[in-house]
Structure 1
Amino acid sequence: MSGWDDILDPDEEILWQGRPDASLVVSAETVVTAIFGTAFAGFAFFWMVMAAQGGGFFWMFGLIHFSVGVAMAFGGFLRRPWQNSRTWYSLSNKRAFIATDYPIVGKRLRSYAINAATSLSMDEGALATIHFATQTYTHKGRQRTRRIGFHRIADGPHVYRLMRDIQRHDREQAQT
Protein backbone atom coordinates (compact mmCIF):
# COMPACT_ATOMS: atom_id res chain seq x y z
CA MET A 1 0.00 0.00 0.00
CA SER A 2 1.42 3.33 -0.93
CA GLY A 3 1.54 5.72 1.98
CA TRP A 4 2.42 2.88 4.35
CA ASP A 5 5.78 2.04 2.75
CA ASP A 6 7.87 4.02 5.24
CA ILE A 7 5.72 3.01 8.24
CA LEU A 8 5.29 -0.77 7.97
CA ASP A 9 7.99 -3.36 8.51
CA PRO A 10 8.90 -5.42 5.40
CA ASP A 11 6.87 -8.44 6.62
CA GLU A 12 3.94 -6.35 7.89
CA GLU A 13 0.61 -5.91 6.12
CA ILE A 14 -2.62 -4.01 6.82
CA LEU A 15 -5.48 -6.34 7.81
CA TRP A 16 -8.23 -3.82 8.63
CA GLN A 17 -8.94 -0.09 8.53
CA GLY A 18 -11.86 1.82 9.99
CA ARG A 19 -13.06 4.87 11.85
CA PRO A 20 -14.91 5.47 15.09
CA ASP A 21 -18.58 6.37 14.87
CA ALA A 22 -18.88 10.15 15.10
CA SER A 23 -22.55 10.40 16.06
CA LEU A 24 -23.72 12.38 19.08
CA VAL A 25 -23.83 10.40 22.34
CA VAL A 26 -25.94 11.48 25.30
CA SER A 27 -24.81 10.12 28.66
CA ALA A 28 -25.49 11.02 32.28
CA GLU A 29 -22.10 12.74 32.46
CA THR A 30 -22.73 14.96 29.43
CA VAL A 31 -26.21 15.90 30.68
CA VAL A 32 -24.94 16.86 34.15
CA THR A 33 -22.08 18.88 32.60
CA ALA A 34 -24.54 20.61 30.25
CA ILE A 35 -26.86 21.53 33.12
CA PHE A 36 -23.96 22.91 35.16
CA GLY A 37 -22.60 24.80 32.14
CA THR A 38 -26.02 26.30 31.40
CA ALA A 39 -26.37 27.48 35.03
CA PHE A 40 -22.81 28.87 34.95
CA ALA A 41 -23.46 30.74 31.68
CA GLY A 42 -26.84 31.95 32.94
CA PHE A 43 -25.35 33.40 36.10
CA ALA A 44 -22.55 35.06 34.09
CA PHE A 45 -25.12 36.53 31.70
CA PHE A 46 -27.19 37.86 34.62
CA TRP A 47 -24.03 39.37 36.16
CA MET A 48 -23.08 41.03 32.83
CA VAL A 49 -26.56 42.55 32.44
CA MET A 50 -26.48 43.92 35.98
CA ALA A 51 -22.90 45.23 35.57
CA ALA A 52 -23.80 46.87 32.24
CA GLN A 53 -26.48 48.93 33.97
CA GLY A 54 -23.72 50.66 35.91
CA GLY A 55 -22.20 51.93 32.66
CA GLY A 56 -18.70 51.48 31.34
CA PHE A 57 -17.03 48.31 30.22
CA PHE A 58 -16.83 46.44 33.52
CA TRP A 59 -19.52 44.02 32.30
CA MET A 60 -17.06 42.62 29.76
CA PHE A 61 -15.22 40.77 32.55
CA GLY A 62 -18.19 38.39 32.60
CA LEU A 63 -17.62 37.34 28.99
CA ILE A 64 -14.94 34.82 29.92
CA HIS A 65 -17.27 33.16 32.44
CA PHE A 66 -20.15 33.21 30.01
CA SER A 67 -17.94 31.61 27.34
CA VAL A 68 -16.77 28.89 29.72
CA GLY A 69 -20.38 28.12 30.65
CA VAL A 70 -21.45 27.86 27.01
CA ALA A 71 -18.44 25.65 26.25
CA MET A 72 -19.37 23.36 29.14
CA ALA A 73 -23.02 23.26 28.09
CA PHE A 74 -22.29 22.18 24.51
CA GLY A 75 -18.71 20.87 24.64
CA GLY A 76 -19.60 17.67 26.47
CA PHE A 77 -21.94 16.68 23.65
CA LEU A 78 -19.80 17.86 20.74
CA ARG A 79 -16.18 17.15 21.78
CA ARG A 80 -16.16 13.36 21.33
CA PRO A 81 -18.01 13.35 17.96
CA TRP A 82 -15.62 16.03 16.69
CA GLN A 83 -12.57 14.04 17.85
CA ASN A 84 -13.97 10.85 16.31
CA SER A 85 -14.52 12.60 12.96
CA ARG A 86 -10.77 13.34 12.89
CA THR A 87 -9.57 9.83 13.88
CA TRP A 88 -8.62 6.79 11.77
CA TYR A 89 -7.80 3.24 12.85
CA SER A 90 -5.66 0.58 11.18
CA LEU A 91 -4.66 -2.92 12.19
CA SER A 92 -1.66 -4.72 10.73
CA ASN A 93 -0.49 -8.23 11.43
CA LYS A 94 1.83 -6.73 14.10
CA ARG A 95 0.43 -3.42 15.35
CA ALA A 96 -2.64 -1.31 15.93
CA PHE A 97 -2.45 2.26 14.60
CA ILE A 98 -4.42 5.30 15.71
CA ALA A 99 -4.10 8.35 13.45
CA THR A 100 -5.51 11.78 14.29
CA ASP A 101 -5.54 15.10 12.49
CA TYR A 102 -6.49 18.02 14.74
CA PRO A 103 -6.14 21.73 13.94
CA ILE A 104 -3.09 23.35 15.56
CA VAL A 105 -1.79 19.96 16.87
CA GLY A 106 -1.59 18.51 13.36
CA LYS A 107 -1.33 14.91 12.24
CA ARG A 108 -0.26 12.19 14.64
CA LEU A 109 0.20 8.48 14.18
CA ARG A 110 0.62 6.22 17.18
CA SER A 111 1.24 2.48 17.00
CA TYR A 112 0.80 -0.22 19.61
CA ALA A 113 2.28 -3.72 19.34
CA ILE A 114 -0.20 -6.57 19.23
CA ASN A 115 1.43 -9.79 20.42
CA ALA A 116 0.86 -12.70 22.78
CA ALA A 117 1.49 -10.46 25.81
CA THR A 118 -1.07 -7.81 24.77
CA SER A 119 -4.04 -7.59 27.11
CA LEU A 120 -7.15 -7.44 24.91
CA SER A 121 -10.68 -6.63 26.02
CA MET A 122 -13.83 -5.74 24.13
CA ASP A 123 -16.86 -3.77 25.25
CA GLU A 124 -19.55 -5.31 23.08
CA GLY A 125 -22.51 -3.55 21.56
CA ALA A 126 -23.72 -2.19 18.25
CA LEU A 127 -20.58 -0.04 18.35
CA ALA A 128 -17.84 -2.01 20.09
CA THR A 129 -14.69 -0.76 21.76
CA ILE A 130 -11.52 -2.87 21.80
CA HIS A 131 -8.83 -1.97 24.33
CA PHE A 132 -5.26 -3.11 23.71
CA ALA A 133 -2.99 -0.71 25.61
CA THR A 134 -2.88 1.64 28.59
CA GLN A 135 -1.25 4.98 29.22
CA THR A 136 -0.33 6.27 32.68
CA TYR A 137 -0.38 10.03 33.19
CA THR A 138 -0.53 12.54 36.04
CA HIS A 139 -3.57 14.79 36.43
CA LYS A 140 -3.88 17.22 39.34
CA GLY A 141 -1.10 15.45 41.19
CA ARG A 142 -2.67 11.98 40.89
CA GLN A 143 -1.53 9.17 38.65
CA ARG A 144 -4.26 7.91 36.36
CA THR A 145 -4.43 5.22 33.72
CA ARG A 146 -6.22 5.63 30.41
CA ARG A 147 -7.24 2.63 28.32
CA ILE A 148 -6.28 2.92 24.66
CA GLY A 149 -8.10 1.22 21.83
CA PHE A 150 -10.41 1.34 18.87
CA HIS A 151 -13.52 3.11 20.18
CA ARG A 152 -17.06 2.86 18.79
CA ILE A 153 -16.36 0.67 15.75
CA ALA A 154 -19.14 -1.10 13.86
CA ASP A 155 -17.19 -4.29 13.10
CA GLY A 156 -15.76 -4.84 16.59
CA PRO A 157 -16.17 -8.64 16.79
CA HIS A 158 -14.35 -9.08 13.46
CA VAL A 159 -11.46 -6.82 14.51
CA TYR A 160 -11.27 -8.55 17.90
CA ARG A 161 -10.97 -11.95 16.16
CA LEU A 162 -8.20 -10.56 13.94
CA MET A 163 -6.30 -9.40 17.03
CA ARG A 164 -6.75 -12.79 18.71
CA ASP A 165 -5.42 -14.44 15.53
CA ILE A 166 -2.36 -12.19 15.68
CA GLN A 167 -1.79 -13.23 19.28
CA ARG A 168 -2.20 -16.93 18.43
CA HIS A 169 0.30 -16.60 15.56
CA ASP A 170 2.76 -14.80 17.85
CA ARG A 171 2.49 -17.63 20.43
CA GLU A 172 3.07 -20.24 17.72
CA GLN A 173 6.14 -18.34 16.47
CA ALA A 174 7.54 -18.20 20.01
CA GLN A 175 7.15 -21.96 20.42
CA THR A 176 9.10 -22.82 17.25
Structure 2
Amino acid sequence: MTADVDEWDGILNPGEKVLWQGRPDPGVTIAPASIVTLIFGLFFAGFALLWMILAATAGGAFWMFGLIHFSVGLGIAFGGIFWEPWKRRHTWYTLTDSRAFIARDLPFLGRSLKSYPITGQTRLELRDGTPGSVMFDHEMRRRKNGHYRVDIGFERIAEAGEVMRLMRQVQERESA
Protein backbone atom coordinates (compact mmCIF):
# COMPACT_ATOMS: atom_id res chain seq x y z
CA MET A 1 0.00 0.00 0.00
CA THR A 2 1.39 3.43 -0.86
CA ALA A 3 0.50 6.90 0.28
CA ASP A 4 -0.18 10.10 -1.59
CA VAL A 5 3.12 12.01 -1.65
CA ASP A 6 1.51 15.38 -0.81
CA GLU A 7 0.20 14.24 2.58
CA TRP A 8 3.75 13.25 3.61
CA ASP A 9 5.40 16.45 2.36
CA GLY A 10 7.68 17.84 5.05
CA ILE A 11 7.49 14.66 7.14
CA LEU A 12 9.46 12.16 5.09
CA ASN A 13 13.16 12.58 4.41
CA PRO A 14 14.19 13.12 0.77
CA GLY A 15 14.00 9.78 -1.05
CA GLU A 16 12.14 8.04 1.80
CA LYS A 17 9.33 5.81 0.53
CA VAL A 18 6.20 4.47 2.22
CA LEU A 19 6.19 0.65 2.18
CA TRP A 20 3.03 -0.10 4.15
CA GLN A 21 0.13 1.65 5.86
CA GLY A 22 -2.57 0.17 8.04
CA ARG A 23 -4.75 0.50 11.08
CA PRO A 24 -5.13 -1.66 14.16
CA ASP A 25 -8.15 -3.86 14.72
CA PRO A 26 -10.47 -1.88 17.02
CA GLY A 27 -12.17 -4.94 18.53
CA VAL A 28 -12.71 -5.27 22.27
CA THR A 29 -10.45 -7.80 24.01
CA ILE A 30 -10.76 -8.96 27.57
CA ALA A 31 -7.55 -9.82 29.40
CA PRO A 32 -7.25 -11.18 32.96
CA ALA A 33 -6.09 -7.77 34.22
CA SER A 34 -9.17 -6.08 32.75
CA ILE A 35 -11.43 -8.61 34.50
CA VAL A 36 -9.85 -7.73 37.86
CA THR A 37 -10.28 -4.02 37.10
CA LEU A 38 -13.89 -4.61 36.05
CA ILE A 39 -14.70 -6.43 39.30
CA PHE A 40 -13.00 -3.77 41.44
CA GLY A 41 -14.81 -0.96 39.59
CA LEU A 42 -18.18 -2.67 39.96
CA PHE A 43 -17.62 -3.14 43.72
CA PHE A 44 -16.60 0.52 44.01
CA ALA A 45 -19.69 1.65 42.06
CA GLY A 46 -21.91 -0.77 43.98
CA PHE A 47 -20.73 0.56 47.33
CA ALA A 48 -21.35 4.13 46.14
CA LEU A 49 -24.83 3.15 44.95
CA LEU A 50 -25.63 1.53 48.29
CA TRP A 51 -24.36 4.63 50.10
CA MET A 52 -26.53 6.88 47.89
CA ILE A 53 -29.63 4.78 48.59
CA LEU A 54 -29.02 4.91 52.35
CA ALA A 55 -28.25 8.64 52.23
CA ALA A 56 -31.43 9.30 50.22
CA THR A 57 -33.56 7.73 52.97
CA ALA A 58 -32.35 10.49 55.31
CA GLY A 59 -33.89 13.07 52.98
CA GLY A 60 -32.35 16.07 51.30
CA ALA A 61 -29.82 16.18 48.48
CA PHE A 62 -26.83 14.82 50.42
CA TRP A 63 -27.06 11.53 48.48
CA MET A 64 -25.87 13.33 45.31
CA PHE A 65 -22.30 13.42 46.67
CA GLY A 66 -22.22 9.70 45.95
CA LEU A 67 -22.71 10.32 42.22
CA ILE A 68 -19.03 11.25 41.87
CA HIS A 69 -17.92 7.96 43.42
CA PHE A 70 -20.48 5.99 41.44
CA SER A 71 -19.23 7.56 38.20
CA VAL A 72 -15.59 6.87 39.11
CA GLY A 73 -16.46 3.23 39.84
CA LEU A 74 -18.12 2.83 36.45
CA GLY A 75 -15.15 4.55 34.80
CA ILE A 76 -12.73 2.15 36.48
CA ALA A 77 -14.90 -0.85 35.61
CA PHE A 78 -15.46 -0.14 31.93
CA GLY A 79 -12.59 2.21 31.07
CA GLY A 80 -10.11 -0.64 31.22
CA ILE A 81 -12.10 -2.61 28.68
CA PHE A 82 -13.12 0.16 26.27
CA TRP A 83 -10.19 2.66 26.40
CA GLU A 84 -7.76 0.60 24.29
CA PRO A 85 -10.27 -0.18 21.49
CA TRP A 86 -11.32 3.47 21.43
CA LYS A 87 -7.65 4.52 21.19
CA ARG A 88 -7.06 2.02 18.35
CA ARG A 89 -9.99 3.47 16.38
CA HIS A 90 -8.07 6.76 16.30
CA THR A 91 -4.67 5.27 15.34
CA TRP A 92 -2.85 4.90 11.99
CA TYR A 93 0.40 3.07 11.21
CA THR A 94 2.95 3.71 8.46
CA LEU A 95 6.18 1.91 7.62
CA THR A 96 8.74 3.57 5.35
CA ASP A 97 12.06 2.29 4.11
CA SER A 98 13.75 3.73 7.23
CA ARG A 99 11.16 4.49 9.94
CA ALA A 100 7.92 3.38 11.54
CA PHE A 101 5.25 5.99 12.27
CA ILE A 102 2.37 5.86 14.73
CA ALA A 103 -0.22 8.60 14.31
CA ARG A 104 -3.09 9.26 16.69
CA ASP A 105 -5.94 11.74 16.69
CA LEU A 106 -7.55 11.44 20.11
CA PRO A 107 -10.39 13.76 21.07
CA PHE A 108 -9.40 16.01 24.01
CA LEU A 109 -5.75 14.83 23.75
CA GLY A 110 -5.08 16.07 20.21
CA ARG A 111 -3.02 14.77 17.33
CA SER A 112 0.37 13.11 17.64
CA LEU A 113 2.82 11.62 15.17
CA LYS A 114 5.77 9.64 16.48
CA SER A 115 8.49 8.12 14.35
CA TYR A 116 10.81 5.27 15.28
CA PRO A 117 13.95 4.58 13.22
CA ILE A 118 14.40 1.02 12.01
CA THR A 119 18.09 0.15 12.18
CA GLY A 120 20.11 -3.04 12.20
CA GLN A 121 20.02 -2.93 16.01
CA THR A 122 16.25 -2.53 16.29
CA ARG A 123 14.81 -5.52 18.12
CA LEU A 124 11.79 -6.77 16.24
CA GLU A 125 9.23 -9.04 17.85
CA LEU A 126 6.36 -10.72 16.05
CA ARG A 127 3.50 -11.48 18.42
CA ASP A 128 1.28 -14.14 16.94
CA GLY A 129 -2.41 -13.81 17.34
CA THR A 130 -5.50 -12.97 15.42
CA PRO A 131 -4.67 -10.24 14.65
CA GLY A 132 -0.91 -10.19 15.31
CA SER A 133 1.44 -7.42 16.37
CA VAL A 134 4.96 -6.30 15.46
CA MET A 135 6.84 -4.62 18.31
CA PHE A 136 9.94 -2.53 17.59
CA ASP A 137 10.59 -0.21 20.55
CA HIS A 138 9.70 0.41 24.19
CA GLU A 139 9.56 3.22 26.70
CA MET A 140 9.81 3.31 30.46
CA ARG A 141 6.99 5.00 32.34
CA ARG A 142 6.97 6.14 35.93
CA ARG A 143 4.59 5.03 38.57
CA LYS A 144 4.51 5.80 42.26
CA ASN A 145 6.95 3.07 43.29
CA GLY A 146 9.23 2.71 40.27
CA HIS A 147 9.00 2.27 36.54
CA TYR A 148 7.38 -0.13 34.12
CA ARG A 149 8.03 -0.99 30.49
CA VAL A 150 5.55 -0.30 27.68
CA ASP A 151 6.22 -2.00 24.35
CA ILE A 152 5.68 0.09 21.21
CA GLY A 153 4.75 -1.25 17.82
CA PHE A 154 2.08 -1.94 15.27
CA GLU A 155 -0.51 -3.63 17.47
CA ARG A 156 -3.35 -5.90 16.33
CA ILE A 157 -2.74 -5.72 12.56
CA ALA A 158 -4.00 -8.32 10.13
CA GLU A 159 -0.79 -8.26 8.04
CA ALA A 160 1.65 -8.75 10.95
CA GLY A 161 3.74 -11.40 9.16
CA GLU A 162 4.08 -9.29 6.00
CA VAL A 163 4.97 -6.16 8.00
CA MET A 164 7.60 -8.13 9.92
CA ARG A 165 9.10 -9.28 6.60
CA LEU A 166 9.20 -5.68 5.31
CA MET A 167 10.85 -4.48 8.53
CA ARG A 168 13.51 -7.20 8.25
CA GLN A 169 14.22 -6.00 4.70
CA VAL A 170 14.61 -2.43 6.01
CA GLN A 171 17.04 -3.73 8.66
CA GLU A 172 19.06 -5.61 6.05
CA ARG A 173 19.33 -2.47 3.88
CA GLU A 174 20.34 -0.36 6.89
CA SER A 175 23.02 -2.90 7.89
CA ALA A 176 24.49 -3.13 4.37
Which whole-Å CA distance do the structure 2 matches of 1:32 and 1:146 have between them? 20
Identity of aligned residues (%): 47
Give the letter aligned to residue 97 of structure 2: N
The CA distance in 2 between the partners of 1:113 and 1:78, in whole Å, is 30
Q: Is 2:41 the counterpart of 1:37?
A: yes
Name the Cα RMSD after superposition: 1.0
- 5+ residue gaps in structure 1? none
Partner of 2:8 in structure 1? 4
Q: Matches of 1:14 and 1:5 in 2, distance apart? A: 12
> Among 147, 153, 157, which residue is 1:153 paired with?
157
1:66-112 per-residue CA deviation (whole Å, 9 max, x = no partner) reads 00111122212211110000000000001000000011221100000
Distance 1:145 1:33 in 2: 20
Aligned residue pairs: how many? 172
The amino acid across from 1:120 in the alignment is L
Cα distance in 2 for partners of 1:40, 1:127 equals 33
Amino acid at match of 1:110: K
Which position in structure 2 is the counterpart of 1:123? Answer: 127
Offset of 1:146 from its aligned partner?
A: 1.2
Alpha-carbon distance in 1 for matches of 2:131, 2:164: 13
Q: Is the counterpart of residue 98 in structure 1 residue 102 in structure 2?
A: yes
Aligned to 1:163: 167
Residue 48 of structure 1 pairs with residue 52 of structure 2: yes
The farther-off stretch of 33-42 and 88-97 is 33-42
Structure 2 unmatched runs, 5+: none
Amino acid in the other structure paired with 2:60: G
SS in 1 for 2:27: coil
Tell me which amino acid in the other structure corresponds to 2:10. D
Moved more, 30-39 or 13-22: 30-39
CA distance in 1, matches of 2:30, 2:151: 21
TM-score by length of 1: 0.94
